[in-house]
Structure 1
Amino acid sequence: MNTDNLIVELGTEELPPKALKNLSEAFAQGIMQGLQQNELQYNNLRPLATPRRLAVSVEGLQAQQADKVVEKRGPSVDVAFDADGNPTKAAQGWARSNGIEVSQAQRLKTDKGEWLLHKAEVKGQSIETLLPGIVESALKQLPIPKPMRWGDSDAQFIRPVHNLTMVYGQRLIEGELLETASSRHVSGHRFHSPAGFELQSADEYESLLEQHHVIADQQRRISIIQKEVARLAEQLGGNVVNDDELVEEVSALVEWPVALHASFDREFLSVPKEPLIVTMKDDQRYFPVEDKQGNLLPAFIFITNIESNDPQQIISGNEKVVRPRLADAQFFFEADKKLTLESRLSKLAAVLFQKQLGTVEDKVKRISALAGQLATQLNTSADDAARAGLLCKADLVTEMVLEFPETQGVMGKHYALNDGEPNSVADAIEQHYWPRFSGDTLPQSDVAAAVALADKLDTLVGIFGIGQTPKGDRDPFALRRAALGLIRILVEGNLPLDLKNMIELAQQQFGGLLTNKTVVDDVFNFVMGRFRPWYQEQGVDVDVIQAVIARAPSRPADFDARIKAITAFKRLDAAISLAEANKRVGNILAKSEVELDGLVNHSLLVEAEEKTLAAKLSETETSSAPEIESGNYEGALNRMALLKDDIDAFFDNVMVNAEDEKIKTNRLNLLHQLRQLFLKVADISLLQ
């Protein structure tokens, strides 16, 4: 079968930079599905994309489908012929649809009867015939929320289309999509090569584009940008502020990335670096530079789309553009410092948190009270936690945060320090939002942790308390993120706090506002429900998670300790046998109609094996008690694992359901005692 390389390109006006990667991958996925559905084999398929084109490169693509034989079953013989053996209308209609006479049909015999059969030879279609339909289908599947029309065209796409190129090997595949006919013309760089070029071979696509100042592979442009930005940052004596999303976005804005560096007035460094970084990155797509100590340097790196003979003109232009934005940040900072955070609290009364739950002022009062209570349980400063809780949202009404919302929290820290608040309070104001996303940093102190927990609990309990639980993808108050944040703070910080107690304390802060009477259980179950996916992402076995969930420990740090212990226990040679034994014991006890108290009467022990197990069990209970009390569950399970041989011997040699009811009940109590010992850690009968 002949093969060759294929290039498909749709040339457009500048595509939305934040959507380029998704569009490119979706286009490639659509082409891939089309080729697979049409049974066209290929060696490799790659998406290519620039701001002005979506393209797909396919290597080693079959020129034509393979010929094949298609079996078309007709009516059963009983239906196909009448009593005289003449073809019925059903048989004649089927034969006519296949272009044959009934007499030419073959027979298919199966266990269920005999049918007419026609084996049709289907000639494989060529890539020229199939490709336009494949590309059209791929374009229709692109994630385009708002397609547009242009000129007097009826075609609709995310941006106006200028050219369509479909070249297989050296052959142009003709077709028309989006009212654009396929041609060999490919646009070059808008400024360096506006005339473009004619593509004679699919193999030349990327190399010719590069000659015309276009790097077609977005990943390659990303690599160039990262390398060049790092090189210039080193020249400036610092490091670039890393931001993968920014690099990706910039790579979607340029076809020929050229890195340059510029500077700004040192006076702007009197402003905290965070708003300066935000305005440079978000507003201008610049790369700020920090020194080795993390201090912002009065310089930035930017990527231009042209190779200029006079780059200083471009540099000067960018310096002029950024200055007013930095000046705004400086003005906001100086103006904000004239008022303390505490004096802004009254303004929070005009900011609604949720109409049934009140304003942000109401919320910070609840956070303050709850944070103080949690801090007391953590043996840290309740006063600092309460103070930070009260001030933690005050920066929302500052000019800086109103202009740069991304700086909430961090500006609160700077303003708190300016007001003379303790460092612990200032840090907690910044960190109470942490973790903001998966993998984000956790609060660094117990005071900050108390405020962060209080904020998340207040939102969870409040929203659940008025019956607005997350449904499907709808989670406007980010309750799932808040629950995961709670878990991470408690588990990774190893904080000895009880989740149910925390929820109850949070509920008390609302007085009579909440209408959901089961809010404590609802929030508890919701947060506990986040454990399973969280641990699964870390590679923890589902049966381990289920074994711990079955015991519903209410302290997340304790929950985690049990998870780690059961994970280690599963690696022991005795684990499978002990899990099976626990399952067997559970089944026996479930069928028992006798009320058991777990108290074993040693005078009723008859067999040597039950005497040995009873003695070892009592010894293990005593020796493992301090370890269970201290949370050393792995150590406790290691002791319990030593019971394996004695448990096996008991089941091999002792009849539990003895004829003597007293002996039978005593043996059941022995098993009850054994089961309860393991359940102090987890339900290991659920282990697979």
Structure 2
Amino acid sequence: MSQKDFLVELGTEELPPKALKKLSNAFTQGIVDRLKSAQLSFDSFEAFAAPRRLALLIKGLETAQPDQQMERRGPAVKAAFDAEGKATKAAEGFARSNGVTVDQLETLETDKGAWLVYRAVQQGSETTQLLPEIISQSLNELPIPKRMRWGARRTEFVRPVHWLVMLMGEEVVDCEILGLKSGNQTRGHRFHANQPLTINQPADYQNLLREQGKVMALFEERRNLIKKQVTDVATGLGGEAVIDVDLLDEVTALNEWPVALSGRFDDEFLEVPAEALISSMKEHQKYFHVVSNEGNLLPHFITISNIESLQPEHVVSGNERVIRPRLADAKFFFDTDKKTSLDARRETLKPIIFQAQLGSLFNKTDRIAKLAGFIAKQEGGQEQLAVRAGELCKSDLTSEMVLEFPELQGIMGQYYGANDGEPEEVCLALNEQYMPRFAGDELPSNLTGCAVAIADKIDTITGIFGINQPPSGNKDPFALRRATLGVLRIIVEKKLDLDLRDLINQSIEGYKSQGVQLPAEESSANKKGLTETVLDFMLERFRSWYQDEQIPVEVFLSVKALKPSRPFDFDQRVKAVNSFSQMAEAETLSAANKRVSNILAKAGDLVIPDSVDPALMTEAAEKSLASALADSKEKVAPILEQRQYSVAMESLAPLKDSVDRFFDEVLVNAEDEQVRLNRYALLKQLRSLFLHVADISLL
């Protein structure tokens, strides 16, 4: 089977920069998957993505599908011929459907009899015949939320298309896609080399574009070059570039021939919080900022130009002229905002609705303040600071700066709080209330910050569940799953002894005190009640947490079965059971606990005593188990009190031998009811001892 390289390139107007990588990956995957489905093998592939092009090079692609042996089974021989040996209608119909005569059919002998079969070789299609449909389908299935039309055509795509390259070896694959006739001509850089470039063979594509077209078609190559250039330019300025990964991807998608240049802004703007300047440079202008060795913002920026200018100073000067009014706006917002205190801004929160049924943002800050104070008091923190931080936590949302740069919420609150003379811990909490903002993000640095962050999230979770709008499937408009993971992370990693049930109840009381009706709380249909519903939802988030830590799901379930509502305590139990599950004795003891659980379940309505009567013990094995349980209980009680669950589980492991012997030598369901109940009581004590940590029968 012969092989040739294949190249497809679609030339477009500038593609959406934030979607370029996604479009390229989907285009590549769509083509590769369809080639495999068509049984067309190839050696390797390389994807190209630049502002004005999506391309894919397939190396060593088979020029035709392999021939396939085809076999169709028809009627049984008995039904195919009559007593005189003539073909029946069934045989003739089968032969006709395959385009042959009956005498051209073959016979297949099987254990269940003989059958007529039609065998043939189906010749594989030429690859060039299949490629147009493969490319068309891949383009049609690209993840494009909204397609556009242009000119008088009915064709639709994410951006207007201008040229199409379809090259198999040295031959053009003759077809029309998106209204474009295929060819072997690409185009170079819009400014440096805006003319047709003829591709003689697919392997020439990348070098031809780079050398004659001033286009670096490979996304990763441009990305690495930009990163190196930005780093080098920053070093030349005596600083260090802060390279945001998303911004790096975006500027890579904006430029075909990237050149890093540095510009400067006036020192007076450094009086504005660095975060505001950075947001302005990054979001509006796509600039990288530069910091000193101490991490302070320097009055420089680095921009990526899409041309190699003979007079780069003009490009720099133009960028400096553009950035000045942007930074001037930021300075104006900051100076204006400082004239109104966060406390005074609270009034402006009253008309802003948090959620139609749950009241305003002002109401929310009242609830957060009370709950944060409760949390701080529980943990021995400064209740008044937590209350104050809760009251002010949303005030910066109405500031000019946050209205212009929403991503600065909390950050500006910290600056404005400091300007108002609020305690430092309160100011920090105004920013830290949103932590962790994403997976792996840092946590609040102090207890006040933790209290406000937890209170804010619990208030939202409880309220949204209270109005019967829990997350469903992929829909989670209030990000309750993320909020829950944030609460769990703070409590576990900060080792806080907080009880989720208490926090949810306090939150419900906060809503009630404002006269807010929570339908889920009042509903008789919700038999579990709102508190237990929310608690179940929150504890269930631990499942994916432990999966990420490679802890078996049954370990999580064994702890969840007891529903411990303190996340730090829950985590300690899981870690203890996970360690225990790897001990040699674990399998036997978990099996024994399961057996005990089944025995006690079958006891039905029988009242099983809490204590064991030694006088009713006749077997040495049950006396031995009773003695071992008594010793273990005495030894483990103080350990459990200190919540040293790992030590407790290790201490219970030696019970294995006594438990094994008991089940080997003792008839649990004795005929004498008193003896039977006494043995049940003994097993109840065994199970109870483990249930102080987890239900290990689920392991």
Q: What TM-score, normalized by structure 1, do the two folds share?
A: 0.97
**Post-superposition shift, 1:427?**
0.5
**Post-superposition shift, 1:587?**
1.8
Task: Answer yes or no: is 1:649 the counterpart of 2:661.
Answer: yes
> How many residues end up aligned between the 2 structures?
687
1:630-661 alpha-carbon deviations (Å, 9 max, x no partner): 22110000001121122222222222223333
SS of structure 1 residue aligned to 2:671? coil
Task: Answer yes or no: is 1:310 the counterpart of 2:314.
Answer: no
Whether the 8 Å contact between 2:410 and 2:432 is mirrored in structure 1 is yes
Query: Which of residues 575, 578, 601 in structure 2 aligns to 1:590?
Result: 601
User: CA RMSD, aligned part only?
Assistant: 1.6
What is the 5 A alignment of 1:154-193?
154-193=154-193
**Post-superposition shift, 1:172?**
2.3
**Post-superposition shift, 1:89?**
4.2
SS of structure 2 residue aligned to 1:229? helix
1:179-210 alpha-carbon deviations (Å, 9 max, x no partner): 11111101111112111411111111112121
1:398-426 alpha-carbon deviations (Å, 9 max, x no partner): 11111111101000000000000000100
Equivalent position of 2:262 in the other structure: 261
111 and 391 in structure 1: CA distance in 2 versus 1, 3 angstrom threshold: farther
SS of structure 1 residue aligned to 2:511? coil
What is the 5 A alignment of 1:469-484?
469-484=470-485
**Post-superposition shift, 1:83?**
6.2
**Post-superposition shift, 1:82?**
5.4
CA distance in 2, matches of 1:260, 1:140: 39
Whether the 8 Å contact between 2:45 and 2:58 is mirrored in structure 1 is yes
CA distance in 1, matches of 2:309, 2:636: 75
1:569-626 alpha-carbon deviations (Å, 9 max, x no partner): 1221211122112122222222224322341222333222222221121111111122
What is the 5 A alignment of 1:45-60?
45-60=45-60
Equivalent position of 1:515 in the other structure: 519
**Post-superposition shift, 1:112?**
5.3
1:453-472 alpha-carbon deviations (Å, 9 max, x no partner): 11111111111111222222
Equivalent position of 2:101 in the other structure: 101
**Post-superposition shift, 1:485?**
1.3
Task: Answer yes or no: is 1:296 the counterpart of 2:300.
Answer: no
Equivalent position of 2:643 in the other structure: 631
432 and 112 in structure 1: CA distance in 2 versus 1, 3 angstrom threshold: farther
Task: Answer yes or no: is 1:668 the counterpart of 2:673.
Answer: no
Whether the 8 Å contact between 1:240 and 1:290 is mirrored in structure 2 is yes
For structure 1, which segment, 635-644 or 86-95, has the greater mean C-alpha deviation from structure 2 after superposition? Answer: 86-95
**Post-superposition shift, 1:98?**
1.7
CA distance in 2, matches of 1:186, 1:222: 22
Task: Answer yes or no: is 1:575 the counterpart of 2:599.
Answer: no
Instruction: Return the letter of the residue paired with 2:639.
Output: E
1:315-346 alpha-carbon deviations (Å, 9 max, x no partner): 11111111110000000000110110001111
CA distance in 2, matches of 1:319, 1:154: 43
159 and 84 in structure 1: CA distance in 2 versus 1, 3 angstrom threshold: farther
What is the 5 A alignment of 1:673-684?
673-684=685-696
For structure 1, which segment, 677-686 or 141-150, has the greater mean C-alpha deviation from structure 2 after superposition? Answer: 141-150
CA distance in 2, matches of 1:461, 1:362: 15
What is the 5 A alignment of 1:13-24?
13-24=13-24
**Post-superposition shift, 1:373?**
0.9
Query: Which of residues 589, 600, 611 in structure 1 aligns to 2:612?
Result: 600
76 and 324 in structure 1: CA distance in 2 versus 1, 3 angstrom threshold: farther
Instruction: Return the letter of the residue paired with 1:548.
Output: V
Identical aligned pairs, as a percentage? 49
Instruction: Return the letter of the residue paired with 2:567.
Output: P
Query: Which of residues 529, 542, 545 in structure 2 aligns to 1:531?
Result: 542
Instruction: Return the letter of the residue paired with 1:309.
Output: L
**Post-superposition shift, 1:678?**
0.8
CA distance in 2, matches of 1:152, 1:90: 56
**Post-superposition shift, 1:128?**
1.2
CA distance in 2, matches of 1:4, 1:596: 80
1:271-322 alpha-carbon deviations (Å, 9 max, x no partner): 0011111111111111111222221111111111111111111111111111
227 and 365 in structure 1: CA distance in 2 versus 1, 3 angstrom threshold: same
SS of structure 2 residue aligned to 1:107? strand
Equivalent position of 1:62 in the other structure: 62
What is the 5 A alignment of 1:219-238?
219-238=220-239
SS of structure 2 residue aligned to 1:350? coil
Task: Answer yes or no: is 1:559 the counterpart of 2:570.
Answer: yes
What is the 5 A alignment of 1:115-514?
115-211=115-211, 212-511=213-512, 512-513=515-516, 514=518
**Post-superposition shift, 1:85?**
4.7
Whether the 8 Å contact between 1:276 and 1:329 is mirrored in structure 2 is yes
Whether the 8 Å contact between 2:227 and 2:243 is mirrored in structure 1 is no
1:440-494 alpha-carbon deviations (Å, 9 max, x no partner): 1111111111111111111111111112222222222222221111111111221
CA distance in 2, matches of 1:153, 1:319: 41
CA distance in 2, matches of 1:131, 1:223: 33
CA distance in 2, matches of 1:439, 1:669: 48
**Post-superposition shift, 1:26?**
0.6
Instruction: Return the letter of the residue paired with 1:237.
Output: G
SS of structure 2 residue aligned to 1:516? helix
Whether the 8 Å contact between 1:189 and 1:196 is mirrored in structure 2 is no
**Post-superposition shift, 1:503?**
0.1
Q: What TM-score, normalized by structure 2, do the two folds share?
A: 0.95
1:516-558 alpha-carbon deviations (Å, 9 max, x no partner): 2232122111111211122212322111111111111100111
For structure 1, which segment, 85-94 or 479-488, has the greater mean C-alpha deviation from structure 2 after superposition? Answer: 85-94
SS of structure 2 residue aligned to 1:55? strand
Instruction: Return the letter of the residue paired with 2:61.
Output: L
Whether the 8 Å contact between 1:76 and 1:114 is mirrored in structure 2 is yes
Instruction: Return the letter of the residue paired with 1:515.
Output: P
Instruction: Return the letter of the residue paired with 2:254.
Output: L
Equivalent position of 1:540 in the other structure: 551
CA distance in 1, matches of 2:535, 2:597: 27
CA distance in 1, matches of 2:658, 2:3: 69
Whether the 8 Å contact between 1:6 and 1:166 is mirrored in structure 2 is yes
CA distance in 2, matches of 1:638, 1:103: 80
Q: Structure 1, unaligned stretches of length 5 or more?
A: none
**Post-superposition shift, 1:68?**
1.4
CA distance in 2, matches of 1:83, 1:503: 85
For structure 1, which segment, 367-376 or 236-245, has the greater mean C-alpha deviation from structure 2 after superposition? Answer: 236-245
